Every structure is written in C-alpha cells, then in structure tokens.
C-alpha cells in the first residue's frame, strides 16, 4: 500500500494517541499543536481499565502504569466523612484486567510524546481552517499548508476543526458547576485510600499520586463564568499566580472545615498550584466524520469528568480509528466505520457522566439524604457491575469475528 499522510490537529492526549496508533501502522503523521510546547497542566488524571487496554494496543500500558499510583481501595463519603460506597481496586483488576491508575498528566504526556519521532511534533502550529472539497484535503496552519489523506481533529472542547466543518453544531454546554484541581506537596503520611466526599452542591475528592503526593479535585455549583478567564487581556488581565492564590483562599473557605483529611490536604497545596475551570460537555453531534476528516476526543464528545472517562474515551477513539483504517485505501469508508463504533458509546457515556454529576451536585437536603441513603444501600458488587458497559471495553482488534 502507498504511504499515506495524516495531519493530527491538537497534541493533547487524544491527538498524540491517534498519532502513535497511525504512525505504528505505517502512516506518515504530523501533529500540529498551537501551544508553544507539548505539555499538560499540573493535575492528575485517572485512567480506568478500558484506557489501559487501549494503551496496551499502543504498547504503552506498562510504561504508564509504572508512573502511576494504584490505590487498594477508594470510594464515596458523605459530608460527615462516613463511607457511602467503596471500590476494591483488586476486584476491579480481576474483573476488567487492569486496576484504576492515577498519574500526573505531565507524565502521561511525556510517555505519549516520547513514543513519537520528535520531528513530527509541530508546536506553535495553530490550525486556522480545514477544507475538504472531495478531491483535496487542505489544512491551513501557522507554519503553512498541509495536504494529507486524512485529518484528525483532536483539538479539544472548542475545536476549530469542528467549528469549520460542523458549522451548525451546538457549542459546549455549561454543566452548572465549576471545578478546582491541585496536587499537594509530598506528604510524609498520605491518606491510605482515596475518596470523593459529597456535600450539598459541593464535592471534594483526593487520590494518591506516586511519591507521597495527592491529587485533589473539588466542585461547586456556580453560575457560568465565575472562574477567572485565562484569555482576558488589558489592565485586569489574568495573572495565573494571583488567581490561583485567590482560588486557594476560596477552597479554604468552602472546604476548610470538611472531614479529615481535607483540611490537611488543602494546607499542603501550594497557593499558586490551584487550577479552576468551569465544566462543559458537548451536545451530541450527528456524526464524528466529514469526508476524510474525523473528530476525536473532546473535539467529538467532551464530557463532564464525573466518570473520569474523557481521556479514557479519547484513547479508545485513537486505537479504534487506526484499526478502522487498517488495510483499506478508502479513508472515507473507514471513517464511517469509526463513527459507527465510537459515536453511540461516547455519547452514552457523556450522558451518564452528566447524570452522575447532577446527582453529585444535589443541594436540596431531602434529595441529598435520599441520594446518600441510596448510595449506602447499593452493594459494592452492583456498583462494579454497573460500570461494566464503560470499563469492559475491548479494542476492535481483540474482538472475535465471524
Ligand atoms: P485536549 O486535551 O483539550 O487537547 C486539545 C489540544 O489541541 C490542546 O493541546 C490544544 O492546545 C490544541 N489545539 C486547540 N485548538 C487548536 C488549533 N486550532 N490548532 C492546533 N492545536 C489546537 N479524563 C479522564 O480520562 N480521567 C480523568 O480523571 C479526568 N479528569 C478530568 C478532570 C477535569 C476537571 C476535567 C476538566 C477533565 C477531566 N478529564 C478526565 C477529561 C480529559 O481531561 C479530557 O477528556 C482529555 O484531556 C481530552 O483530550 P483531547 O486530546 O481530546 O483534548
């Protein structure tokens, strides 16, 4: 088969994974990233068994696991710190082949970038438009123009590729709550297990990272736009350090009296290390593909982080896309298969994540009581079983056919 060329727009987790999957199957790939370097923000990320299975296909699961922490147990607590439900990670691994692994995002990005030749990673290359007139596929970017056989739009929540080729698609939809993320300094005695504590319209979670650090996250129901805008310019321009320290003060005000170990964790977070983002998901697209252009990851199906599945799904997308393109010269037909395999699943998980978020953010006391009671009564085995449709995914190449 003649060498084929792919342009991947966006060098986040999804774009890099797609580039690796295509490169390993003989495609000539370039990754166009608008940021000046390929890196990720200072927070943790949880990778569930389905993501590790996708990373297995890329030959990277062991490298990622070696950089991550695997906690024995974790679960959900109520506002007074009492357990509502618990998950046993060994049981998870027995059932789904891998445990839940949590690592620093920068470490994951490093594993992904190191799996690619450095000269195909083009930072500072913002893509302005993509044209597909059925004959020629043209990508215009800061470094000039590319004419590949395939374009992968992996440019995130506010995808430019989606904006150009899906002009009628609805934009991101605010979830109704904002999130904070942070990593503590190394602790001499980190908590022995992770937990998410559910309050009234607020949640606070923490989970171990390697080296005694903890990755913490919190949410609060708030009007859209109360998070500082990192794109602001002028006299009141965004100052990440100043903003982060005021966010730290806000976290202390909201969560400083929550059950242990929350106050101690907050005390060990550097003031300038707090990230804050409003949370969005994407209304369902009628298709993830347009001719020889495929959307992937958040560009296709941004979801709220309640199931910790956004990046996991981007990794699934990447290996499925490469699988569909294998052994065929008909890129458009292969992308239609990709769409059929990925769209129903990711849109279902997006909805499920939104529903879980709505439950987690409940604030009316009787509803909170009902929620907490239902969570307490749900057997651990039933919780795990309910996760099977999400975590039990197998890569298409592994499927038994015929
Ligand atoms: P992105 O990471 O957004 O990458 C897109 C890239 O494209 C960026 O590098 C951007 O600079 C670049 N780009 C944008 N526009 C252009 C352009 N015009 N030209 C060139 N480049 C461009 N997921 C999990 O699986 N587990 C978790 O625990 C988890 N926790 C989360 C917690 C929070 C609070 C949030 C908000 C999300 C969380 N997610 C989690 C979701 C996960 O972060 C995303 O789903 C994932 O990062 C999406 O990757 P992506 O590559 O599709 O998009």
Q: Which atom of ligand 1 is nearest to the CA of 14?
A: 51
Q: Is residue 274 part of a domain?
A: yes
What CATH number is associated with residue 46? 3.50.50.60
Asked if 206 and 242 sit in the same domain, the reply is yes
Q: Which residues pair with residue 281 across a beta bridge? A: 173
Whether 35 and 110 share a structural domain: yes
Q: What is the pLDDT of residues 295-354, one digit of tens each?
A: 999 999 999 999 999 999 999 999 999 999 998 999 999 999 999 999 999 999 999 999
The pLDDT score that the predictor gives to residue 42 is 73
CB-ligand 1 contact for 346 (6 Å cutoff): no
With the most atoms of ligand 1 within 8 angstroms of its CB, the residue from 124, 143, 298, 321 to mutate is 298
> Is there an atom of ligand 1 within 6 Å of 219 CB?
no
Of 92-96, 225-229, 230-234, give the range with the top mean pLDDT.
92-96
Q: Is the residue at 89 inside a domain? A: no
Ligand 1 and 40: CB distance under 6 A: no
CATH number for position 257: 3.30.9.30
More confident: 238 or 173: 173
**Domain-embedded: residue 346:** yes
| C-alpha 372 to ligand 1 mean position (Å) | 31
**Per-residue pLDDT averaged across 57-74, rounded?**
95
Residue 400 CB neighbours (<10 A):
5
Number of domains in the chain: 2
Is residue 43 a part of any domain in this protein?
yes
Establish whether residue 190 lines the binding site of ligand 1, counting it when its CB lies within 6 angstroms of any ligand atom.
Answer: no
* Domain extent at residue 10: 5-71+105-172+283-359
Q: What is the pLDDT of residue 108?
A: 97
67 and 143 co-located in one domain: yes
DSSP of 296-361: -THHHH---GGGS-HHHHHHHHHHHHHHHHTT-S-HHHHHHHHHHHHHHHHHHHHHHHHHHHHHHT
Q: What's phi and psi for 303, nearest 5 deg? A: -130, 160
Once rounded to an integer, what is the mean pLDDT over residues 214-239? 75
Whether pTM > 0.85 for this model: the answer is yes
Distance 141 CA to ligand 1 centre (A): 20
Q: Where are the beta strands (DSSP E) in 161-258?
A: 173-183, 194-198, 202-208, 214-221
Q: How many CB atoms lie within 10 A of CB 381?
A: 11
Residues 24 and 155 in one domain: yes
**Is there a contact between 124 and 34 (Cβ–Cβ < 8 Å)?**
yes
Q: How far apart are CA 22 and CA 27, in angstroms?
A: 5
Identify the helix (H) or strand (E) that includes residue 59. none
pLDDT, tens digit (0-9, with 9 covering 90-100), for 256-300: 999 999 999 999 999 989 999 999 999 999 999 999 999 999 999
């Amino acid at each position: 088969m003649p060498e084929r060329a792919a342009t991947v727009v966006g060098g986040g987790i999804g774009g890099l994974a797609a580039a690796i999957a295509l490169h390993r199957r003989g495609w000539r790939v370039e990754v166009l990233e608008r940021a000046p370097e390929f890196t990720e923000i200072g927070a943790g990320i949880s990778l569930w068994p389905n993501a590790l299975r996708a990373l297995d296909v890329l030959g990277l699961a062991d490298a990622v696991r070696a950089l991550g922490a695997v906690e024995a147990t974790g679960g959900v607590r109520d506002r007074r710190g009492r357990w509502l439900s618990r998950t046993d990670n060994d049981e998870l691994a027995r059932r789904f082949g891998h445990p839940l692994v949590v690592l620093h995002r920068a470490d994951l990005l490093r594993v992904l970038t190191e799996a690619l030749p450095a000269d195909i990673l083009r930072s500072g290359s913002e893509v302005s438009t993509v044209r597909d007139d059925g004959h020629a596929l043209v990508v215009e970017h800061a470094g000039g123009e590319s004419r590949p056989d395939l374009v992968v739009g992996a440019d995130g929540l506010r995808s430019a590729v989606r904006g150009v080729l899906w002009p009628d698609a609805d934009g991101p939809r605010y979830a109704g709550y904002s999130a904070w993320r942070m990593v503590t300094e190394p602790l001499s005695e980190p908590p022995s297990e992770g937990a998410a504590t559910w309050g009234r319209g607020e949640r606070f979670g923490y989970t171990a990272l390697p080296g005694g650090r903890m990755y913490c996250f919190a949410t609060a129901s708030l009007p859209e736009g109360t998070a500082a805008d990192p794109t602001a310019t002028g006299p009141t321009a965004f100052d990440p350090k100043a903003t982060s320290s005021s966010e730290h003060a806000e976290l202390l005000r909201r969560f400083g009296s929550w059950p242990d170990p929350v106050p101690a964790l907050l005390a060990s977070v550097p003031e300038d290390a707090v990230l804050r983002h409003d949370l969005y998901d994407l209304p369902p697209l009628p298709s993830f593909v347009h001719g020889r252009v495929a959307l992937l990851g958040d560009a296709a199906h941004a979801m709220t982080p309640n199931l910790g599945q956004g990046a996991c799904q981007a990794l699934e997308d990447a290996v499925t896309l490469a699988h569909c393109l294998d052994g065929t010269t008909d890129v458009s037909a292969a992308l239609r298969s990709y769409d059929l395999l990925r769209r129903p699943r990711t849109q279902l998980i997006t909805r499920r994540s939104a529903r879980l978020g709505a439950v987690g953010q409940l604030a009316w006391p009787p509803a909170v009581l009902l929620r907490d009671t239902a969570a307490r009564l749900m057997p651990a085995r039933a919780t795990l079983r309910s996760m099977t449709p999400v975590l039990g995914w197998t890569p298409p190449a592994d499927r038994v056919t015929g």
